[in-house]
Amino acid sequence: GAVVSQHPSRVICKSGTSVKIECRSLDFQATTMFWYRQFPKQSLMLMATSNEGSKATYEQGVEKDKFLINHASLTLSTLTVTSAHPEDSSFYICSARQTGSSDEQFFGPGTRLTVL
């Protein structure tokens, strides 16, 4: 149980295009999901907290207009990187917290984004 999937696992795009990444909780409902970015050999940096049915909460320094988050259902959150540039190339990871649980977060397998 408690499986989180991400799609796509890997994406290569041209500079200036937008890319959408999906995060799904497969066997549980998640009121809250989290989006992280991880650069090579670095730790996970929280970008934003995604709440079902409401606006996402962004961490300081993260541009909300560039990283659009939509959490339209209890099992799906999407992150759209708009007008992607090479510096947006990174490993994007989502996690989901089961509704009613205050602790454990389950992580997805990550999405490798490469912007040419």
Partner 1 sequence: GENVEQHPSTLSVQEGDSAVIKCTYSDSASNYFPWYKQELGKGPQLIIDIRSNVGEKKDQRIAVTLNKTAKHFSLHITETQPEDSAVYFCAARPRLSSASKIIFGSGTRLSIRP
Per CB under 8 A, residues contacting partner 1 are 4, 6, 32, 34, 42-46, 49, 51, 57, 93, 95, 97, 102-110, 112
Which residue's CB is nearer to partner 1, number 8 or number 18?
8
Residue 78 beta carbon to partner 1: minimum distance, rounded to whole angstroms: 17
Residue 54 beta carbon to partner 1: minimum distance, rounded to whole angstroms: 11
| Range 105-116 burial, b when 16+ CB lie within 10 A, else e | bbebebbebebe
CA 106 to the chain's CA centroid: 13
Burial (CB < 10 A; 0-12, 13-18, 19+), residue 49, is: middle
Which residue's CB is nearer to partner 1, number 75 or number 98?
98
Residue 85 tokens read as: 């540039």
Residue 107 beta carbon to partner 1: minimum distance, rounded to whole angstroms: 4
